[in-house]
Amino acid sequence: MAAPTRSPSASPPSAPSVPPERAGRWIDDWRPEDPEFWETSGKRVARRNLFFSVFSEHVGFSIWSLWSVLVLFLPEPVFGIDPAGKFLLTALPTALGAFVRLPYTFAVARFGGRNWTIVSAALLLVPAAATAIVLEPGVDYGTLLVVACLAGVGGGNFASSMANINAFYPDRLKGWALGLNAGGGNLGVPVVQLVGLLVLATAGADHPRLILWIYLPLIVVAAVGAALLMDNLTMVRNQPRALREATREPHTWFMAFLYIGTFGSFIGFGFAFGQVLQNQFADSFATPLAAASLTWLGPLLGSLIRPFGGSLADRFGGALITCLTFVAMAAGAAVVWTASQVASLPLFVVGFVVLFVLSGIGNGSTYKMIPAIFRSQALQQVAEGRDPGEADRRALRMSGALIGIAGAVGAFGGVLVNLAFRQSFMTTGTGDSAYVAFIGFYVVCVAVTWFVYLRPGRALGRV
């Protein structure tokens, strides 16, 4: 993910050409940092791959967050599941999605970006079909837990998609490209919630299977589209010991921690918001339709603004934007806590929507920090006499590994959000304890970002 450290004079680029392909749509010659190559052929190929990567990731996010909608179709008198049980149904797919992100990231290097997109898209058929089969009154709660857990495979698509698209774009465009790729994928959360709202408004709460019948053909389109129109890049293959090396890099864990605060908040709130509204303001959201009418708004705005967060980071630096975002998120969580204390629904919704928007900006800025960190390290290594090519390869290898680790650890933040809400409502009947915990966590994130990446005298350059 880092920019090459070679200067034009040190390693003149070869003549631009259309990237040659071999059987299986493998591209052997890929030089995005070469301006001539990029303009003549690279940009077109990268955009085509970005489009289908976004589509596949979008469908994956929808399946991953499917149970944030389905719990609204499970009235307690019919299914016998209390609010704590519903929070567990949304926490399990979040957990599995976090777990599979790591192997999904390295699957791109092992099998190729196109090839793994086909496989990861096809795997979405498993939770979609299983849910369509078992979801009916009288189903055992344990069966629902297993099927909900299967939906977690949709969470892995994000990691493999980001690792793949990262290799297609030059460093100067990575913030925009990764933000667009992630934002388009994140839109799967509000879109599936809007689909659920449409089903509730037209067919009613007795027909949750309609959501699955809508998504099953979309999954097929994602897999077939990837097979026909995406490419594999030879340059991202065979990165031995990348994971082991990345785990010894302190910045891996700093960034993973910060990503808990940004993406963990986004996905956790996205899964829990509908249930929080129904439990916190039961009188205003007595029906599933009433809750579904608002749950999509925050995830939609948070997804749409993620590319903007990447662009801001491209311009002002990811660390600065991330730090300011956490300051604002602490204030936003304080607004939500205040609204809960005074039982103000409008203030509560506004505070939560602001948190969604800020988490979207933070998602874009934190991911921009990853290539910048290893680019800075590569430049330092070249200045110390290290071979530029070796420094570039390490930067690409380490940033790719960090994508997987940060994505996996960050997604576990969504589990923590749902568990925090579950515990808070079980013990106090409100989400107040969870809101206080969120405020404290964001304050810690501000301190970590400033101390590691912004304070005077830090080792790294601008990130």
- How far apart are alpha carbons 15 and 31 in whole angstroms? 11
CB 421 within 8 A of CB 87: yes
Contacts of 355 (CB under 8 A, 6+ apart): 265, 269, 298, 329, 332, 333, 336
Tell me the two tokens of residue 419.
Answer: 């568990």
Q: How far is CA 121 from the centre of its chain?
A: 16
- How far apart are alpha carbons 220 and 104 in whole angstroms? 19
CB 277 within 8 A of CB 421: no
At residue 372, the pLDDT reads 85
**Phi and psi angles of residue 29, each rounded to the nearest 5 degrees, phi first:** -110, 105
- How far apart are alpha carbons 90 and 69 in whole angstroms? 9
At residue 451, the pLDDT reads 94
pTM of the entire structure? 0.79
At residue 280, the pLDDT reads 87
pLDDT (tens place) for every residue of the chain, 463 residues total: 333 344 343 444 444 444 454 455 899 889 998 999 999 989 999 999 999 999 999 999 999 999 989 988 888 888 989 888 888 898 899 889 888 988 888 888 889 999 999 999 999 999 999 999 999 988 999 999 999 999 999 988 988 898 888 889 987 887 778 878 888 888 999 999 999 989 988 888 888 999 999 999 999 999 999 999 999 998 776 455 777 888 888 999 999 999 999 999 998 998 888 889 888 888 888 777 887 888 888 999 988 888 888 889 888 989 999 999 999 999 999 999 999 999 999 999 999 999 999 999 998 899 889 888 888 888 888 888 888 878 877 887 788 778 778 888 888 888 899 899 989 988 888 899 999 999 999 999 999 999 999 988 776 767 8
Task: Report the 10 Å Cβ neighbour count for 16.
Answer: 17
Beta strands in 159-302 (DSSP E): 232-233
At residue 7, the pLDDT reads 39
Round the CA-based radius of gyration of the chain to a whole number and report it. 22
At residue 12, the pLDDT reads 44
At residue 239, the pLDDT reads 58
At residue 288, the pLDDT reads 76
At residue 240, the pLDDT reads 57
- How far apart are alpha carbons 121 and 192 in whole angstroms? 16
At residue 105, the pLDDT reads 80
Contacts of 356 (CB under 8 A, 6+ apart): 266, 269, 270, 297, 298, 299, 301, 302
Closest CA to 165 of 240, 232, 241, 98: 232
CB 61 within 8 A of CB 188: yes
- Calculate the CA dihedral of residues 184, 58, 148, 79 and round it to 10 degrees: 80
At residue 290, the pLDDT reads 83
At residue 3, the pLDDT reads 38
Tell me the two tokens of residue 373.
Answer: 């960190």
Locate all alpha helices (DSSP H) within 65-173, ordered by sequence. Answer: 66-70, 76-79, 83-111, 113-123, 125-134, 141-150, 153-168
At residue 404, the pLDDT reads 76
